[in-house]
Amino acid sequence: MPLRRPGKGATVTDILTNDEISLLRSLEKKSRTITGNFTHKRYDRLETKGYIKRSSQSPSMQDMLYEITDAGKAALRAAGGAAG
- Look up residue 31 and give its DSSP letter: -
Strand partners, 63: 35
| Cα–Cα distance for residue pair 84/53, rounded to 1 Å | 20
- Residues 14, 76 contacting (CB under 8 angstroms): no
In tens, the pLDDT along 32-56 reads: 887 765 566 778 889 999 999 988 8
Q: What pLDDT, on the 0 to 100 scale, is given for residue 3? A: 47
What is the mean pLDDT of the segment spanning 54-62? 75
The whole-number pLDDT of residue 24 equals 92
Q: Report yes or no: 32 and 26 within 8 Å, Cβ to Cβ.
A: yes
**Domains in the chain, please, with CATH?**
12-78 (1.10.10.10)
Residue 64 has pLDDT above 60, yes or no: yes
Q: Taking a C-beta distance cutoff of 8 angstroms, is the pair 75, 15 a contact?
A: no
User: So what's the pLDDT on residue 36?
Assistant: 67
